[in-house]
């Protein structure tokens, strides 16, 4: 192998370093610095105080909010995983022509051609007290009184999350499944394995990287979300993102920055745990 | 160019703006100035004034009309309430005229970035409502709690950074727009008279009530309710102690846990949708939102309550850096603002103008009767943008100007314990 000159190495790494530096390291560094600043009602100013962290970590609300957010993340993960895995499995193993696989896969992406917000808001008239769903159930005589838990509840929040993020699970799992060597499956069937054994012993283990990537997408998106929780929870439910948004809207940027740093740490721990379960570098 | 309103900043003013963000050199080739005899008329034609403020009163029509009448070019930027205050405090060179709310003055006036106005140069000062002078609309009105505008309206000298308790010759803001807020209800779904703030927490409306999730305003509505229930006695609802905040939030947290609230709203359209869809039958609301619900053919009332109204108001302030011709033009603009045309424009949307009488000339007798005197409308009431607001025969909820503004119990304000209050409010939301 030829030894490259230091200059060309430098040139080669500079684009990615610049991009990551400006758009990742610099903003995060700024947030970290601001999280130690102090603030009053209308401005924030350089200082070095721990009050933002002590306010954040000293309050029960923070813990219950994190617990709530983790619960949303857990429920959403479970639903998107079940749906994502099933859809991907169907596409990969039950559709035999590439053309139909592509067609059906594109159909899955159609909802993503519209904006997040639109997809979310359209649930509101559907699930409302006098909404489409309740009206149908009532006219069929299945219920006497409208079901109130459908909207502005944990149910509607998780429903919207699953709707928004299921595709993030489908794509990587489908990708992993397509890489599975079909002869492995034939060999298993020849060896007398039933469908369940094949699923547990071959498909799932070989899909682990896809599942891990999908899980990272879904969990990080849910952990950082604020708009879904606000809109679908009717403002009655809190998530970490909502808490930060409340602070930002009152110009308490340092407090929001402290929350952002804490959230970043929590999410990084979660991702690194997932990476421990699946060694992505080795698997890819 | 300059509309830094972020998509996330969802304050009332923000959402009320009617496609009004920027008015840049609105009418080119202004006509000859008529009806405004003034020595500066020729010079100020070329002056450009940069004004920012909340969306409600930063409307294109005003910039177009001022260009026509005075020749001044008005560049407008609409921001949300919090951002306007921040702008005055942190970017004093970025504007000439600030259209801000009175309660923010407490925080921004000490920055020294605004200069007071010389009242002797304000032609229509004697027409300005008493609320903005001695705090009394009529000689018998009692003075409301919170940041009542007159408490922050006067200062002792052009360079003073504090407020004067009595009237002086130096005016901090010229009032532009204000209103009295109360609860909105769906009379068809409630079916009985409502006359007190306590009804918001009445278990009868379990799962059908809502309050706005903007801490600084929501806490005031909450306080109106707790006080009406007799649960909490406040020294000053606009400046609560920690203990008062705790008690208030405890009552509301309990109600929330018991399922009293269907949702909390943050934006104008959310409040309209909750009400129109029947998700909510009683909630804190703003006047134009009521109109929006009614315009869908759904009955909705801005219910006057026996405890009184929660009120808010904004005004124009002059930047410290204004001087010479620009300062003259700014005075000219403010005199024009008070002379009636703008007042008519605002009053016909359901707000009140600082000098109501001058607006009378710019409204029809029927409009004046409906909006100001609380009389039944003779013809359909149309807003300045051509939308029908009320049918003939309608009477304004709450009645006349004196009946509504004369019964203000509390003004929007910034509390000394603001930081604590916000934390408690967040806890309430997360509870």
Q: Go through B109-136 and write b for each residue having 16 or more CB atoms within 10 A of its CB, e for each that does not.
A: bebebbbbbebeebbbbebbbebbbebb
The residue among B304, B341, B314 whose CA lies nearest residue B412 is B314
Amino acid B5: pLDDT: 39
CA distance B14 to B16: 5
What ipTM was reported for this prediction? 0.76
Give which of B278, B10, B320 is closest to B155, Cα–Cα. Answer: B320
A200-204, A271-275, B308-312, B420-424: lowest mean pLDDT where? B420-424
Q: Are B76 and B58 in contact (CB under 8 A)?
A: yes
CA-CA distance, A210 to B154, in Å (whole number)? 67
The verdict on a CB contact (< 8 Å) between B279 and A129 is yes
Q: Is the pLDDT of residue A4 over 90?
A: no
The topology under which CATH files domain A39-283 is MetI-like fold (1.10.3720)
Whether residue B349 is contained in a domain is answered as: yes
CB B240 within 8 A of CB B256: no
Same-domain check for residues B349 and B320: yes
Task: Calculate how close chain B gets to A129, using CA atoms only, in Å.
Answer: 6
Residue B169 has pLDDT above 70, yes or no: yes
Residue B34, pLDDT score: 45
Residues of B in contact with A59 (CB under 8 A): 423, 427
Is residue B33 pLDDT above 70, yes or no?
Answer: no
More confident residue, B427 or A261: A261
Place of tokens 């617990």: A67
Mean pLDDT of A90-117: 89
As a whole number of angstroms, the distance between CA A123 and CA A133 comes to 10
Residues B62 and B26 in one domain: yes
Residues B172, B23 within the same domain: yes
Instruction: Give Cα separations from B277 to A128, A155, B11, B303 (angstroms).
Output: 8, 20, 22, 19
How many helices (H) and strands (E) chain A has is answered by: 16, 2
CATH number of residue B416's parent domain: 3.40.190.10
Tell me which of A41, A69, A148 to substitute to probe the interface with B (most B C-beta atoms closer than 10 Å).
A41
Indicate if B96 and B204 belong to the same structural domain.
Answer: no
State the smallest CA–CA distance between residue B353 and chain A in angstroms.
Answer: 28
User: In chain B, whose CA is at the least distance from the CA of A129?
Assistant: B279
Domain boundaries, chain A: 39-283
Report DSSP state, residue B23: B
Q: Would the pTM count as exceeding 0.90?
A: no
Residue A19's pLDDT band, with cuts at 50, 70 and 90, is: very high
Q: Do B324 and B236 sit in the same domain of this protein?
A: no
- Residue A205 neighbours by CB under 8 Å, 6+ apart: none
Range of the domain at B142: 12-178+311-362
Of B86, B207, B256, the CB nearest to A251: B86
Q: Is the pLDDT of residue B14 over 70?
A: no
Mean pLDDT across the stretch A136-140?
A: 92
pLDDT at B6 over 50: no
Integer angstrom CA distances of residue B391 from B25, B92, B372, B376, B396: 36, 46, 17, 10, 11
Residue B166 sits in the same domain as residue B204: no
The least confident of A176-180, A251-255, B231-235, B243-247 is A251-255
Residues of B in contact with A244 (CB under 8 A): none
Q: Among candidates B331, B328, B327, B334, which has minimal Cα distance to B40?
A: B328
Q: Are residues B150 and B248 in the same domain?
A: no
A130 touching chain B per CB within 8 A: yes
- Average pLDDT of the residues of chain B: 86
B5 within some domain:
no
Closest chain B C-alpha to A50 CA, distance in angstroms: 16
Is the same domain home to B249 and B185?
yes
Contacts 24+ apart (CB under 8 A), A121-124: A121/A231, A123/A151, A123/A156, A123/A159, A123/A160, A123/A163, A123/A232, A124/A151, A124/A231, A124/A232, A124/B273
Of the pLDDT bands very low, low, confident and very high (cuts 50, 70, 90), residue A283 is low
| Cross-chain CB nearest to A250 (options B107, B422, B429) | B422
Determine, yes or no, domain membership for B199.
yes
Whether B194 and B272 map to the same domain: the answer is yes
Q: Do A235 and B85 touch (CB under 8 A)?
A: no
Question: A148: which chain B residues are within 8 Å (Cβ-Cβ)?
Answer: 207
- What pLDDT is recorded for position B44? 72
- Domain check: are B124 and B220 in the same one? no
Model confidence at A163: pLDDT above 90: yes
Q: What is the DSSP string of B123-156?
A: TTGGGS-GGGTTS-SSTTPPPPEES-GGGGSEES
Question: Does the structure show a pLDDT above 50 at B28?
Answer: no
B205 shares a domain with B129: no
B174 & B184 share domain: no
Domain total for chain B? Answer: 2
Q: What is the pLDDT of residues B104-146, one digit of tens each?
A: 888 889 889 999 999 999 999 999 999 999 888 888 888 889 9
pLDDT at B385: 85
């Amino acid at each position: 192998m030829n030894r490259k000159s230091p200059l060309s190495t430098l040139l080669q790494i500079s684009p990615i370093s610049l991009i990551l530096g400006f758009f990742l390291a610099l903003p995060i560094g700024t947030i970290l610095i601001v999280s130690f600043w102090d603030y009053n009602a209308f401005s924030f100013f350089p200082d070095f105080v721990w009050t933002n962290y002590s306010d954040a970590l000293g309050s029960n609300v923070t813990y219950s909010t994190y617990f709530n957010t983790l619960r949303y993340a857990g429920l959403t993960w479970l639903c998107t995983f079940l749906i994502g895995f099933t859809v991907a499995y169907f596409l990969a193993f039950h559709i035999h022509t590439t053309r139909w696989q592509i067609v059906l896969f594109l159909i899955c992406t159609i909802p993503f051609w519209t904006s997040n917000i639109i997809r979310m808001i359209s649930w509101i008239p559907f699930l409302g007290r006098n909404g489409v769903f309740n009206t149908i159930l009532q006219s069929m005589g299945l219920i006497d009184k409208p079901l109130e838990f459908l909207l502005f509840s944990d149910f509607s929040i998780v429903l919207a999350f699953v709707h928004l993020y299921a595709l993030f699970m489908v794509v990587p799992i489908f990708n992993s499944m397509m890489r599975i060597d079909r002869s492995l499956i034939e060999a298993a069937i020849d060896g007398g394995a039933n469908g369940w054994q094949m699923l547990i012993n071959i498909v799932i283990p070989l899909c682990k990287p896809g599942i891990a990537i999908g899980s990272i997408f879904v969990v990080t998106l849910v952990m950082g979300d604020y708009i879904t929780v606000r809109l679908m929870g009717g403002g009655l439910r809190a998530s970490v993102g909502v808490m930060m948004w409340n602070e930002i809207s009152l110009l308490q940027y340092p407090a929001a920055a402290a929350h952002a740093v804490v959230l970043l740490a929590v999410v990084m721990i979660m991702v690194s745990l997932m990476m421990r379960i699946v060694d992505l570098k080795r698997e890819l | 160019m300059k509309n830094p309103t972020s998509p996330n900043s969802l304050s009332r003013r923000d959402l009320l703006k009617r496609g009004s963000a920027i008015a840049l050199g609105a009418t080119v080739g202004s006509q000859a100035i008529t009806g405004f005899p003034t020595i500066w008329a020729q010079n100020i034609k070329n002056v450009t004034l940069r004004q920012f403020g909340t969306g409600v009163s930063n409307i294109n029509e005003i910039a177009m009309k001022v260009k026509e009448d005075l020749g001044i070019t008005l560049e407008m930027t609409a921001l949300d309430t919090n951002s306007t205050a921040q702008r005055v405090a942190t970017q004093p060179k970025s504007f000439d005229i600030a259209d801000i709310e009175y309660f923010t003055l407490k925080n921004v006036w000490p920055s020294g970035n605004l200069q007071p106005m010389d009242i002797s140069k304000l032609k229509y000062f004697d027409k300005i409502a008493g609320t903005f002078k001695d705090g009394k609309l009529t000689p018998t009105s009692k003075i409301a709690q919170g940041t009542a505008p007159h408490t922050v309206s006067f200062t002792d000298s052009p360079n003073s950074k504090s407020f004067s308790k009595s009237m002086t010759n130096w005016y901090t803001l010229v009032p532009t727009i204000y209103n009295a807020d109360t609860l909105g209800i769906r009379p068809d779904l409630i079916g009985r008279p409502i006359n007190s703030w306590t009804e918001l927490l009445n278990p009868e409306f379990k799962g059908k009530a809502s309050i706005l999730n903007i801490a600084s305003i929501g806490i005031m509505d909450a306080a109106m309710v707790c006080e009406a229930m007799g649960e909490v006695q406040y020294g000053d609802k606009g400046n609560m102690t920690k203990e008062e905040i705790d008690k208030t939030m405890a009552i509301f947290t309990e109600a929330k846990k018991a399922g009293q609230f269907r949702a909390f709203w943050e934006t104008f359209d959310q409040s309209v949708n909750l009400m129109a869809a029947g998700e909510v039958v009683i909630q804190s609301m703003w006047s134009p939102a009521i109109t929006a619900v009614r315009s869908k053919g759904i009955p909705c009332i801005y219910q006057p309550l026996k405890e009184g109204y929660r009120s808010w108001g904004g005004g124009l302030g002059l930047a410290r850096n204004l001087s010479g011709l620009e300062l003259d033009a700014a005075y000219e603009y403010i005199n024009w603002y008070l002379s009636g045309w703008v007042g008519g424009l605002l009053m016909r949307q359901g707000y009140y103008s600082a000098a109501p009488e001058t607006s009378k000339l710019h409204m029809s007798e029927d409009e004046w009767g409906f909006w100001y005197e609380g009389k039944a409308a003779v013809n359909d009431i149309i807003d300045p943008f051509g939308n029908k607001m009320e049918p003939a025969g309608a009477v304004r909820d709450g009645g006349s100007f004196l009946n509504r503004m004369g019964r203000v119990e509390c003004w929007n304000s910034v509390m000394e314990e603001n930081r604590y209050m916000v934390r408690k409010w967040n806890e309430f939301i997360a509870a």
